[in-house]
Amino acid sequence: MALRNTMMNFSSRAIHTSAICNQIIKLTRLRVVDNSDIGKQAMVEGKPPKCIHIYNKIGVGYIGDKVLVAIKGEKKKGILVGLKQNQKTKVPKFDSNNIVLIDDSGTPLGTRIHVPIPHILRTILKNKTHAKGADYTKLIAIATRFV
């Protein structure tokens, strides 16, 4: 046990042990959950994207919000599709902060999302889509499973 303790002491120096901030703010690390090349590479290399801007007026990202992320030295846009923070009743809460990368017109970069997506996102993205602006509902089409 003593040996194990010393090992723990040694190893815990390198990693940070503070509780992870549940809010999406600038510099929050996110998880790409689609199969776009850039997203897959970034996740495999262990360099998850960092949020560098949130496209709303509060500066805190909630479900369905658009964010700007820094990923592998590039700037890409993404939609928050699952959050760690506590949600309203009947809205699922996830174990990680998930995003799906999109381009300026709202088309996803990947072709498949490999985690479940909350049903409420249908309504949120529908309301955010404007006739002339970006069409976010394409994201719903590539989802494989809803909860």
In the DSSP assignment, the letter for residue 21 is P
Q: Which stretch binds other proteins (CB under 8 A): 18-26, 46-54, 57-65, 100-108?
A: 18-26
Using the Cα atoms of residue 116, residue 118, residue 123 and residue 125 in order, give the sign of their dihedral.
negative
Helix (H, G, I), strand (E, B) or coil at 128: helix
**Residue 64 Cβ vs other proteins, minimum distance, rounded to whole Å:** 11
Q: What is the distance between the alpha carbons of residues 69 and 53, in angstroms, rounded to a whole number?
A: 7
35-74 residues near other proteins, rule: CB under 8 A: none
17 binds other proteins (CB under 8 A): yes
Q: What is the distance between the alpha carbons of residues 94 and 90, in angstroms, rounded to a whole number?
A: 13
100, two tokens: 């799906």
Picking from 74, 60, 56, the residue whose alpha carbon sits closest to that of residue 27 is 60
67-86 residues near other proteins, rule: CB under 8 A: 82, 86
Interface with other proteins (CB under 8 A), residue from 54, 71, 115, 139: 115
**Residue 74 Cβ vs other proteins, minimum distance, rounded to whole Å:** 25
122 binds other proteins (CB under 8 A): yes
**Residue 4 Cβ vs other proteins, minimum distance, rounded to whole Å:** 6
Kindly state the helix (H) or strand (E) to which residue 138 belongs, with its residue range.
helix 138-141
> Rule CB under 8 A: which residues touch other proteins?
1, 4-5, 8-9, 12, 15-20, 33, 82, 86-87, 89-96, 98, 114-116, 119-123, 144-147
